[in-house]
Amino acid sequence: MSDATPGVVGRTQRRLSALSPATGVGVALAVVLLGNAAVQETGLFIDQAIGGLVYGMILVMVSLGLALVLGLMGVVNFAHGALFMLGGYFTFTVMESYGLPFLGALVVAPLLVGVVGIAMEVVVLRRLYGSNPIIGLLATFGLTLMVEEAARFVWGASGLQPSKPGYLTGGTDLVVTQVGTYRLFTVFVSALSVVAVYYLITNTDFGLSVRAGVQDGEMTEFVGVNLPVRFTAMFFLGSVIAGLGGALRVVEFGVDPGTAEEFVILAFVVVVIGGVGSLFGSVVAGLLVGWAQFLVPVVLSSLAVVTGISALEIQGVGRLIPFLVMIVVLLVRPRGLFGEEGLLE
Amino acid sequence: MSDEVTTGRTDRPASVEPETDPQSAALGVENLTRTFGEVVAVDGASLALESGELRAVIGPNGAGKTTLFNCVMGTLDPTAGSVYLDGRDITDAPEQRRPHLGMARSFQSNQLFAEQTVFENVRLVVQTARRGAFSMDLFRSHYDVGRDRAAEIAETVGLGSQLESAAKNLPHGDQRRLGIAMALATDPEVLLLDEPTSGMSPGATTQTAQLIEDIRDDRGLTVVLVEHDMDVVLSVSDRISVLDRGRVIATGPPEEVQGDRTVQDAYLGGMREEL
Amino acid sequence: MSADSETPASRVPDTPSAFEQYRIPLGLVVLVLFLRPVVSSDLLLGFEAIANRMLIIMLFVAAFNLLFGFTGLLSFGHAMFFGFGVYVPAIVVLNGLGGLAPGGSVTFFAGVALALLSVGVFSYLLALLIVGKGEIYFALLTLAVSQAIYFIALRDPWGLTGGSNGLTRGTLPEFVEQTRGQITIQAFGASVDWYWVVAVVFLLAMSGLWQVVRSPFGRTLIAIRDNEQLARAMGIDTTRYKVWSLTFSGLLSAMAGVLLEINNSGAAIENLGVLTSGDTVLMAVLGGINYFFGPITGAFTWLFVEDFLTDFEVWHIPTTELAIVSVDLGPALQFWQFFLGALFVVVVLTSPEEGIWGYVRTLGAGVKRRLEER
């Protein structure tokens, strides 16, 4: 792991330096606003910052698989949110019906989602590689509808939530505020899995062969790589990590059939902001969106305190934020923060 | 241009500089450069066509012919340099303006409105030529616009008997001819044809070459022809420009360019046999 | 036009007969005349109100398809235009507008005018910003913008939209009368069945749409759908055509929304939601996006199946002692969207542009050929 670190840092620097000066001004402004909020309402600010981190990490986990399939195979997989949702449902079932402990469920449920993902890839997705992305979007949209209906049939229309294991229920004291232990656990597990997947794709032969296959399928097959199997394996990986995200989330927030669409839309937002074709972009954008959604309301309310303009204190503005960010990013910089130019345009 | 040296074989380039001023030519290209990242596809190319001239642009694969073509037509933006049409600088005119200014193209690959009939393909271009790049023409039926003219143009290229066939069902050669018909339907003064005979049988190639000459003679068009088939190039063109690694290395009448040493070097001898 | 003087000896294909040219509007009239009697027969759905809803949704999906089927732009957020049409008149009727009293007839029409004006301006400006971004980005941007609007409406700004409850009281103008679920329109001392009002608006709007599609303007849209690069090279300003296509599509969608406002006596947050947008895409593709009657077929199929299958068990409850099968079938058929979703996936994977209507046409052509062979 440690050999990869300088590479990642170097690349990060290069990528950051490629951003425009206007971005720098924006970042500076953001720092001032955030600083103001941190001073005004320190406890709330840290609470929200951690909430945003948890949420952002979950978004990264859903987005990684989506970004992989989109960047590598050119398929806009609307059904990816359904995999995330299934992660939640499977966790509920293995815990409540089969009595598996939470940590066990955290392993079993994502693997089950991976199996569903393989089925999805082999039956539908494989037919879509290289075809018009709109067709892919439509087909996977239909697939989502089917999975949602199936979930409604099996688990019912209302939300389900397994009970949290005792050792993760308490709070952890962080001097100025108390943070739920489960939240810290989520951040830990998700960070670990995201780093692992990222490493696997950018730094191993496996990831390299798949990326080479995308560049030149015939040549890669010629040197003895079985591409369809590797594509399937890649899809399995994306499904598992989405399923793990769903499993982590269900314990705290529950799951219902609407979860699939809610999260796939957010994942699209993340991938588009980060830039199609860049996994790194998806990671950054996921965290950015998570924090933006949780911190903008605090920033606005503390700004309202400073300026005395109470109109700034808008309730429930958070859920609007990801879409506003996406619209602005696409209009100013269509390829996203770190995307390659020309993809899907 | 008639005072160019026209003696047979010579060691010096036939002509590297444009013969007339591109800024006042029927179609002029001045120092046009286009790069893709590090790659320089077109490198300071200049051309100047006289009105009514049929100019072939040849060169080895990867010489930058299609890129030059796309820059002239506005499909790509040139990195540097200018394009002139009849003395007007049109470098910044968007692609869709150019047919209305008097220049039209055919595509190298068969670009057609594949699901529509031959007739509708041509009629739609006639309609666009008459109504402009955008027209809120909402209150008539499409049956009222451009039918006579479309049939006439289809007849010119020899597709008069296949008006009702779907474009996608035409044989390859007829699709190329339909492409030429659509370019003609814009009523151009300058016509750019990108490899109009590629993939055709020898018979169809001769027919198409004849068609190109006829169009030029009947309508007095200025024609740029990017072409691989040397027989076609030598038989129809007034002058030839040779492109190599993005530069125009020679321009002159066919026999002069044929004998040019630089050109022979560019084709690495292999092409010399063919010539 | 140098060649215009040449002899026009070339054959011009015959223009189709008047019947051929006008068969779409004729078909629309037939549809409106027969839809209600057919669906309300006891053999099928057995109640009349569904026919109103069908016509409204058909108009909406057809408006969506002007953009997708005829211009090649997939909007995944069309509910926003529809929702504008539902919400704006409802808000205006509820609160009044300027000197116009709440609930007045004039107030309602002012609301309709405001709705169309705002949708026109909104969709035009939105189109200017996003039509040049590429197909997939267009789909995602429409989705994002409509989600943003959804969340704004959900927040109930200035108490106008009613948040998650929507607007249900005081949203109907005085000329609308409701008795036991039946809507009638009181105008100039006469009382008109709501279905016929919907039918007239439907026919007018659909005829307008048909005229757009068959005009030189509409043929240009089709050319852009078929091959945008070629269209541009042939001198078509593709961006401006796309912008106007989205604007027309938005306006007609808002028209459908206005009808739904009266039909449902108010506005619901779901009218703006992503599911409404998604259903529109599903209906259009199921029906067949390449055909004028495709969206109509798709909307009919969708709503028919929804009602027929969801009511299946209810319909069978009195006969459960006799027909045990229906008890088993009912709960499964409630999840009709699963089966339509499967059908949709099959359509997309096999012939994404043909749909049910394309299939019907092929069948019809086959039958016709057989008959001619005899």
Residues C246-262 have pLDDT tens digits of 999 999 999 999 999 99
Phi then psi for C204, rounded to 5 degrees? -65, -50
Q: Is C288 helix (H, G, I), strand (E, B) or coil?
A: coil
Does residue A143 lie in a domain region?
yes
- The answer to whether the Cβ–Cβ distance between A261 and C345 falls below 8 Å is no
What pLDDT, on the 0 to 100 scale, is given for residue C311? 61
Confirm if B23 and B87 have CB atoms less than 8 A apart.
Answer: yes
> Least CB-CB distance to B164: which of C4, C13, C219?
C13
Name which of C216, C233, C227, C71 is nearest B96 in CA terms: C233
Confirm if A60 and A283 have CB atoms less than 8 A apart.
Answer: yes
What pLDDT, on the 0 to 100 scale, is given for residue C101? 84
Sheet hosting strand C190-193, strand order edge to edge: C176-179, C182-187, C190-193
Does residue A321 lie in a domain region?
no
> Least CB-CB distance to A146: which of C275, C332, C342?
C342
Does residue A4 lie in a domain region?
no
- On whether any CB of chain A is under 8 Å from the CB of C140, the answer is yes
- The answer to whether the Cβ–Cβ distance between C10 and B143 falls below 8 Å is no
- The answer to whether the Cβ–Cβ distance between C137 and A330 falls below 8 Å is yes
Beta-carbon count within 10 A of B274 CB: 9
> Least CB-CB distance to A330: which of C133, C278, C282?
C133
Confirm if A338 and A274 have CB atoms less than 8 A apart.
Answer: yes
Query: End-to-end alpha-carbon separation of chain A, Å?
Result: 36
3-state secondary structure chain B: CCCCCCCCCECCCCCCCCCCCHHHCCEEEEEEEEEECCEEEEEEEEEEECCCCEEEEECCCCCCHHHHHHHHHCCCCCCEEEEEECCEECCCCCHHHHHHHCEEEECCCCCCCCCCEHHHHHHHHHHHHHHCCCCCCCCCCHHHCCHHHHHHHHHHCCCHHHCCCEHHHCCHHHHHHHHHHHHHHCCCCEEEEECCCCCCCHHHHHHHHHHHHHHHHHHCCEEEEECCCHHHHHHHCCEEEEEECCEEEEEECHHHHHCEHHHHHHCCCHHHHHC
Q: Which residue has the higher pLDDT, A336 or C115?
A: C115
Widest CA span of chain B, in angstroms?
65
Report chain C residues whose CB lies below 8 A from the CB of B75: 229, 233
Does residue A241 lie in a domain region?
yes
CA distance A262 to chain C (A): 9
Complex ipTM, two decimals?
0.86
Does residue A195 lie in a domain region?
yes
Report chain B residues whose CB lies below 8 A from the CB of C217: 135-138
What pLDDT, on the 0 to 100 scale, is given for residue C5? 43
Tokens standing for residue C347: 């359509």
Name which of B45, B40, B23, B38 is nearest B251 in CA terms: B45
Report chain C residues whose CB lies below 8 A from the CB of A272: 137, 140
CA distance C229 to chain B (A): 8
Phi then psi for B82, rounded to 5 degrees? -135, 160
Beta-carbon count within 10 A of A171 CB: 13
Residues of chain B where predicted confidence (pLDDT) is lower than 70: 1-19, 267-275
Report chain C residues whose CB lies below 8 A from the CB of B100: 235
- Work out the angle at residue B24's Cα, subtended by the Cα atoms of residues B23 and B30, and round it to the nearest 5 degrees: 25
- The answer to whether the Cβ–Cβ distance between A345 and C152 falls below 8 Å is no
Which neighbouring-strand residues pair with B27? B49, B85
Confirm if A67 and A271 have CB atoms less than 8 A apart.
Answer: yes
Confirm if A237 and A200 have CB atoms less than 8 A apart.
Answer: yes
Which neighbouring-strand residues pair with B48? B28
CA distance C316 to C320: 6
- The answer to whether the Cβ–Cβ distance between C233 and B107 falls below 8 Å is yes
The answer for C 22-81 residues in CB contact with A (under 8 A) is 74
- On whether any CB of chain C is under 8 Å from the CB of A11, the answer is no
| C333 pLDDT tier (thresholds 50, 70, 90) | low
What pLDDT, on the 0 to 100 scale, is given for residue A287? 93
Per-residue pLDDT tens digits for C38-96? 888 766 666 778 899 999 999 999 999 999 999 999 999 999 999 999 999 999 999 98
Q: Which domains does chain B have, with CATH numbers?
A: 1-102+189-197+216-275 (3.40.50.300), 106-187 (3.40.50.300)
Q: Tell me how long chain C is.
A: 374
Residue A60 burial by CB count (10 A; 0-12/13-18/19+): exposed, middle or buried? Answer: buried
Does residue A78 lie in a domain region?
yes
Q: Which residue has the higher pLDDT, C7 or B216?
A: B216
- Dihedral angle at the C-alpha atoms of B172, B178, B180, B186, nearest 10 degrees? -160
Which neighbouring-strand residues pair with C220? none
- The answer to whether the Cβ–Cβ distance between C137 and A134 falls below 8 Å is no
Name the neighbours of C, counting chains with at least 3 Cβ pairs within 8 A: A, B
What pLDDT, on the 0 to 100 scale, is given for residue B230? 86
Inter-chain CB pairs, B–C, below 8 Å: 131
- The answer to whether the Cβ–Cβ distance between B99 and C212 falls below 8 Å is no
Residue A2 burial by CB count (10 A; 0-12/13-18/19+): exposed, middle or buried? Answer: exposed
Query: What average pLDDT score do residues C169-191 get?
Result: 83
- The answer to whether the Cβ–Cβ distance between C147 and A265 falls below 8 Å is yes
Tokens standing for residue B116: 């529509």
Does residue A271 lie in a domain region?
no
- On whether any CB of chain B is under 8 Å from the CB of C165, the answer is no
Alpha helices by DSSP H, listed for C96-134, are: 105-130
CA distance C57 to C63: 10
Confirm if C250 and C119 have CB atoms less than 8 A apart.
Answer: yes
Name the neighbours of A, counting chains with at least 3 Cβ pairs within 8 A: C
CA distance A120 to A243: 14
- The answer to whether the Cβ–Cβ distance between C230 and B107 falls below 8 Å is yes
Type of residue at A342: G
H/E segment holding residue C190: strand C190-193
For an interface test with B, give the residue of C1, C4, C10 to mutate (most B CBs within 10 A): C10
DSSP assignment of A189-214: HHHHHHHHHHHHHHHSHHHHHHHHHH
Gyration radius (Cα) of chain C, Å: 22
Residue C315 pLDDT greater than 50, yes or no = no
CA dist list (Å): A209 to A11, A67, C51, C123, C214? 21, 17, 57, 45, 51
Confirm if A62 and A88 have CB atoms less than 8 A apart.
Answer: no
For chain C, give the percent of residues with pLDDT over 90. 55
- Work out the angle at residue B184's Cα, subtended by the Cα atoms of residues C212 and B213, and round it to the nearest 5 degrees: 165
Query: End-to-end alpha-carbon separation of chain C, Å?
Result: 49
Number of domains forming the structure of chain A? 1
CA distance A10 to A16: 10
Q: Is C179 helix (H, G, I), strand (E, B) or coil?
A: strand
Report chain C residues whose CB lies below 8 A from the CB of B113: 222-223, 226-227, 230-231
Tokens standing for residue A327: 């619209």
What pLDDT, on the 0 to 100 scale, is given for residue B272? 45
pTM of the full structure: 0.87
For chain C, give the percent of residues with pLDDT over 70. 89
- CA count, 13 A, side-chain hemisphere, B45: 35
* Domain that residue A247 falls in: 43-258
Q: Any idea which of B190-194, C30-34, C42-46, C302-306 has the lowest mean pLDDT?
A: C42-46
Per 3-state DSSP, chain A is made up of helix, strand and coil in percentages (nearest 5) of 75, 5, 20
Residue C185 burial by CB count (10 A; 0-12/13-18/19+): exposed, middle or buried? Answer: middle
CA distance A49 to A115: 35
Does residue A213 lie in a domain region?
yes
pLDDT tens digits in sequence order for chain A, 345 residues long: 344 444 556 666 666 666 667 777 877 888 888 888 777 777 788 888 888 999 999 999 999 889 888 877 788 889 999 999 999 999 999 998 898 898 999 999 999 999 999 999 998 888 888 788 889 999 999 999 999 989 988 898 888 888 888 777 777 777 667 778 888 888 999 999 999 988 888 888 777 777 776 666 666 666 666 777 888 888 899 999 999 999 999 988 889 988 998 899 999 999 989 888 788 888 999 999 999 888 888 888 888 777 777 666 666 677 888 888 888 887 777 778 887 655 554
- On whether any CB of chain A is under 8 Å from the CB of C349, the answer is yes
Collect all residues with Cβ–Cβ distance below 8 Å to A181 and sequence separation of at least 6: A167, A168, A169, A170, A171, A172
Sheet hosting strand B103-106, strand order edge to edge: B103-106, B190-194, B222-226, B54-58, B239-244, B247-252
Sheet hosting strand B39-49, strand order edge to edge: B39-49, B27-36, B80-85, B88-89
Residue C109 pLDDT greater than 50, yes or no = yes
CA distance A118 to B118: 45
Name which of C80, C118, C224, C116 is nearest A327 in CA terms: C80
Tokens standing for residue A130: 């290289």
What pLDDT, on the 0 to 100 scale, is given for residue C21? 87
DSSP assignment of A299-328: HHHHHHHHH--GGG--TT-GGGHHHHHHHH
Name which of A291, B94, C114 is nearest A299 in CA terms: A291
Sign, CA dihedral A243-A245-A247-A249, equals: negative
Report chain C residues whose CB lies below 8 A from the CB of A345: 133-134, 137
